[in-house]
Each structure stands twice: as structure tokens, then as C-alpha cells.
Chains A and B, each alone.
Chain A
Amino acid sequence: MSQSVKEWFESRTGLGKIFQKEMVEYRVPKGLTLPYSLGVLAVLFFAIQIISGIFVLMYYKPDMKLAFDSVNYTIMQVVPWGWFLRSLHAVGAGFFMAIIYTHMFTGIYYNAYKSPRQLVWIIGWIIYMVMILLVLTGYLLPQGQLSYWASEVVSEMPTAIPLDIMEKVSLWIKGGFSIGDITITRLFALHVVFLPLLLIALVFLHIQFFHQTGVTSPDGRELHGNEKETVPFIYVTLKEGVIIAVVLAAFAYFIFFYSAPFTPSANFEPANPMRTPADIAPEWYLTAFYEIFRSIPNKFLGFMATNVFLIFLLILPILDTSKKKSATKRPLFYFMYLLFLISFAVLAIEGTQPATAQAAAIGKIFFIINMIFFISLPIISHFEKKKEALQ
């Protein structure tokens, strides 16, 4: 009986075939390390954001005068379990970004950008850009002081490029001469419809592409198609289940005990166009860029410097041409990678500090160290190729 029901469905849906292909025929190397679970975790937190987002959306009002109260009063105090939904969404966004950054940095560690996975990397980079837009637009919605002044800064961003038309672009983004109902409704539309849809499509492509090429192995060997040293993906989901439960436990800790770091206190002051906050720093996921931007006195050059960092990330597959993969097999690369991480961490931390001459000096020095990592990649590749040729 159950067999015929199964067949009835299978012949009409073909879902079983997809399951067979993606969970059983798709194989991954044995002995995958913890960082390999970050992708699954990212998908999980994307799902949490969508679900919790739908619920907070039911009470949120995209309006200059109503947004603040709809979040801090209606959702937090009137709606039963509203505080839980908002915490889910706010803490979830923090976890999501942290996971994406770690996923990206461990991807660099394992050289996951190299042939044949260049397209996986590029799609990943676009996902990262869309994510930044998503968290930014989301950050602006509660219309606290931070939201308001961040929208002001972001919409002024295009004018860093010294072209007349950029003033118009900035006006066009704002929908007027100051942040108003039009701005907030636009950002709202981007945040709840356009960007999530785009992200779903990109994530789908990302997964499809690496299922096609197989994942890297921790020690850098290409094991795609190697039956002996790989296992069907379905067994790995068991390990990932354990990790997911542990991460969710940490997530629950922040939601129920300590959500304050995810809802910055300065944003509990209603937006006030008359009062510029003393020092505004962006959230932690952007402070590194902010530090680079402000440590360079010229606005245009600062803007370009942050872009150089992003472009270098994008073209990693071109910079690093060595056939060798994984930092575990490349001591020189491993050393430079540590410098990269340290410089990024210093930039991110320094970006939260008040803008002083000292902060600017630190910003410049560590930006240069950061660049040295990227510039060293072709050189390291050159040496590694030479060494390989000798052997």
C-alpha cells in the first residue's frame, strides 16, 4: 500500500529523484572539519530570518512617525511573544552575518575560490554584497537615531565620487532632500521583497554550483568522484544536526538572556533630524570598511580604498594561481592569511572607536597590511609553481 502511494507521488513529482541526487549521489570528503558546517548554518539562519521576518512584518509600519513605536511599543510590549520575534530577527541577523563572515574567511583558508569553484566563489561574493544591503536596510527600519543617521550617511555615499550626477543619484535614493516617508518605504520594499528574493535565487545557484564541482577537502586534495574517500552527503547531515543543535543553543542564550548587544541602545532614541549624535559608528560587520574609509582624508580615495578591498576579495581566483590548495599545505599562504585576519580584526575593532589621529594612523597601517596579503598571493603562487616544477 505505502509502496504504491510512494510510486504514485514519485511518478507525478520526481522529488525522490532530486533527493537521491542531492543527498545520496552527492558525496563529500570524509573527515570534514567544523568550518564545513557553516554553509548549512547560513541556510538555517536565512530561514530563521525569513520566518521571524514575516512575523515582525505583520506589526511593523514603514512610516517616519509610526515605525519607532510600532517596533518598540507594539511589537516589544503589546503583541504576545512580540519581544521573542524581534529578538529572533535581531539576534538572528547578527548570527547570520557572523556566520557569513566566518564562512567567507574559512573559504579563503581552504582556498575554496580556486578552479573549478570560481563561480561558487563569485556567487558567494555577490551574496555577501546583498547581505550587506539587507542588514543595512533592515537596520534603518526602526527609525531610531542610529537608523536615521545611518540612512543619511548611506544615501550620501554616492557623492564620494566627484561627479555632478552623483548628487542626483543621492537625491534619487532618498526620494527627496531629506530622509522621509519615501526613503523609508523604499528601503522597506527592498528589505522585505527584492533583496530576500534575490538572495534566495543566489543561494540556490551557490548550492547548485558547488554540488556540481564538489566541495574542497580540508587537506586540499581534489576528491570529487573519488568513491573511496568520500561519503554520501546524507551521513554528514547527522554530524551537522549535532552542530546545528549546539549553535541554536547559543542562539537561544542570546535571545532569552542577553539580546542587548544586538539592539544597540542608541537606536532607542527616536530619530531626530535636529540632533546629530556625537560619534556614529556602523554595526560591527561594517566597522572595518568604515575604519578604512575614514582613515583616508580624501573622501573619494577613502571610498575607492574600501572598494579595492572588496574587488580584491572578488578576484582572489585570479590573484592566487598556484595549483596547491588549502592553507594546511601552504606554510607561506598560512602566514599571510594570519596577517590578513589580524589586520581585518584590528580594522574592525578600531572602527568602533572615536575618530582620532591615532585611529586614522592605525587604520592606514593595517589597511596596508591587509592589502599586502592580496598582493602577496601572485608572488606566493609563483614560488610554489617554481618549487613544483623542480620536484
Chain B
Amino acid sequence: MKFLRSIPIILIIGGLFYALWSGILEPEKWKVPHSAELIKAKVSEAQLAKEGEKTFKMFCTACHSVRYKEIYPTFVNAPNAKPLFKLLMKKNNGFLNRYIYESAFALQLKGLKAAFGSVPPDLSTAYVYMGEGKLFNFIKDPQKVLPGTKMPNMHLSDRQVVAISTFLKTAILPTEKETQKRHLIGTFVIIFLIVLAVLFALYRKAVLTEEGIED
């Protein structure tokens, strides 16, 4: 009886947290097509990421940077910028933060802005904030996702787009190997805590019987 009374409360509070935290309230709008899923199933992530980096450097670095992967637009290699770029990279251990990057190459970025209306964004974190589905569809056909955008359609194959998307994933999310490592550590921690809980419960029982009290 006492327990019955708390069931609705557990259901409401539990249901609230479940609804808020699971993704059920925001269904994904853009999906990765089946053909692309097949490629992902066949080719290893590491391989795709390697391919993606190459493809990205071929098609996208005219406009975009991926600073978290030390990839910068081609303008940094122009004769008037190269010496400065090399020096900055050396002084900053290969990573240019936004202050340095946007000040040192302000002119070039301004040029891109003049050409496209907005500076083509750095894509280090795009995989997460766009989501895999939206990212895939955007690279495949920018106009479909964002009508009127200045981003050109590069007419890439599914394989090339999947590779780029996988490469961008590794720029912000841990690699498969790293994820496995974290899961392994996590499993150990959880098992440890459960064992600890059981030991604690046994200890509690022993203490309470010994002292002859109940709490």
C-alpha cells in the first residue's frame, strides 16, 4: 500500500526525465542515405577518415579550415602569407587560436567574405552541431538543405562525402579506438561501484545485527 502511493510519482518524475533526456522529442530531420550507410559498414573508420582528409584538402580548403586538425585554407600557402604562417605554426605548436588566425589572415578572410557574403566557417566542430545526416546532405547538395547558400555544390560521390564526414567526425569526437578504451574503463568503474554497493550493504547488515538495531 505504502509503495503503491509512490508509483505515480516515480512514473511522472521518471517519465519527465526520460522524455527530456532521450532524443525522442527532437527527431532527426536529415538522414544519411542507405547507400552511404553501406559504405560505412564496409570500410573502417580509420580508413575513411584518412581518405576524407585527402578529399577535404582537394575540394574544400579553397574556403574552409579545420583548425582542430591543423588544416588551413590554401591562402596560407600563397607566397605573401607562407612565411608568416610557418612562423606562427612553429611558435604555437601547430594550433592557431582564433585571435592569432583571424588577425594574421584578416585580409584573406575579408576577401572570402566579400566573395561569398560570409566567411566560410571553420569546420572543426561541424559534425556535432549539424549532425551526421544534415552534414552529409549539405555537402552532397547545399541548396537542398540551405536554399540560397553561397556554398557551391562540389558534385562529390557518396564515398567521398562519407569520407569527409568521417574525417570531420574525428576532428571533434574521439576515434573508435579511443571510444572503446573509454567504454572499457567505464565498465570497470561501474562494476567496481556495484561491488562496492553490495559490500556496503553486507557491512551495514552486519553492523546492524551486531548492535541489535534497525534503521
Q: A69-B97, A73-B95 are in contact. Are A284 and B5 (CB under 8 A)?
A: no
A255 at the interface (CB under 8 A from B): yes
Residues of A with Cβ closer than 8 Å to B? 30-33, 65-66, 68-69, 72-73, 76-77, 83, 98, 102, 105, 109, 144-145, 231, 235-236, 238-239, 241-242, 245-246, 248-249, 252-253, 255-257, 261, 265-270, 274, 284, 287, 327-328, 334, 338, 341-342, 344-345, 348-349, 352-353
Q: In the docked arrangement, what's the CA distance between A287 and B21, Å?
A: 13
Contact mask for chain B residues 141-163; partner A; CB cutoff 8 A; 1 contact, 0 none = 00000000000000000000000
B8 at the interface (CB under 8 A from A): yes
Q: A238-B203, A268-B128, A328-B2 are in contact. Are A252 and B97 (CB under 8 A)?
A: no
Q: In the docked arrangement, what's the CA distance between A352 and B172, Å?
A: 26
Closest residue of chain B to A30 (Cβ to Cβ) is B215
Set B12, B20, B187, B214: member contacting A284, Cβ < 8 A: B20
Q: Which of B67, B172, B193 has the most CB of A within 10 A?
A: B193
A245 pairs with B97, CB closer than 8 A: no
29 A–B pairs (Cβ distance < 8 Å), ordered by A: A65-B98, A66-B97, A69-B97, A72-B124, A76-B172, A77-B68, A98-B17, A102-B13, A144-B129, A236-B215, A238-B208, A249-B189, A252-B186, A252-B190, A253-B186, A256-B183, A256-B189, A257-B183, A268-B125, A268-B129, A270-B121, A270-B122, A284-B20, A284-B21, A287-B20, A334-B5, A348-B16, A352-B25, A353-B25
Q: A83-B174, A341-B9, A349-B20 are in contact. Are A245 and B186 (CB under 8 A)?
A: no
B20 pairs with A231, CB closer than 8 A: no
* Contact residues of A: prevailing secondary structure: helix
Set B97, B128, B215: member contacting A239, Cβ < 8 A: B215
Q: In the docked arrangement, what's the CA distance between A73 and B171, Å?
A: 9
- Going nearest first, the 4 A-B pairs with the smallest beta carbon separation are A256-B186, A245-B197, A238-B204, A249-B193
B133 at the interface (CB under 8 A from A): no
Contacts of B97 in A (CB 8 A): 65-66, 69
Set A239, A248, A265: member contacting B204, Cβ < 8 A: A239
B174 pairs with A242, CB closer than 8 A: no
Q: Which of A72, A77, A256, A266 has the most CB of B within 10 A?
A: A256
Contacts of A66 in B (CB 8 A): 97-99
Residues of B with Cβ closer than 8 Å to A? 2, 5-6, 8-9, 12-13, 15-17, 19-23, 25-26, 67-68, 95, 97-99, 102, 118, 121-122, 124-125, 128-129, 131, 172, 174, 182-183, 185-187, 189-190, 193-194, 196-197, 200-201, 203-204, 207-208, 211, 213-215
Closest residue of chain A to B214 (Cβ to Cβ) is A30
Q: In the docked arrangement, what's the CA distance between A290 and B97, Å?
A: 35
Set B12, B182, B194: member contacting A256, Cβ < 8 A: B182
A242 pairs with B200, CB closer than 8 A: yes
Q: In the docked arrangement, what's the CA distance between A256 and B194, Å?
A: 16
A238 pairs with B8, CB closer than 8 A: no
CB distance from B69 to the nearest CB of A (A): 10
Closest residue of chain B to A349 (Cβ to Cβ) is B19
Contacts of B102 in A (CB 8 A): 65
Closest residue of chain B to A285 (Cβ to Cβ) is B20
Q: In the docked arrangement, what's the CA distance between A33 and B23, Å?
A: 31
Contacts of A256 in B (CB 8 A): 182-183, 185-187, 189-190
CB distance from A247 to the nearest CB of B (A): 9
CB distance from A25 to the nearest CB of B (A): 16
Contacts of B190 in A (CB 8 A): 249, 252-253, 256
B125 pairs with A270, CB closer than 8 A: yes
Q: In the docked arrangement, what's the CA distance between A249 and B63, Å?
A: 46
Q: A248-B193, A253-B186, A352-B25 are in contact. Are A231 and B215 (CB under 8 A)?
A: yes
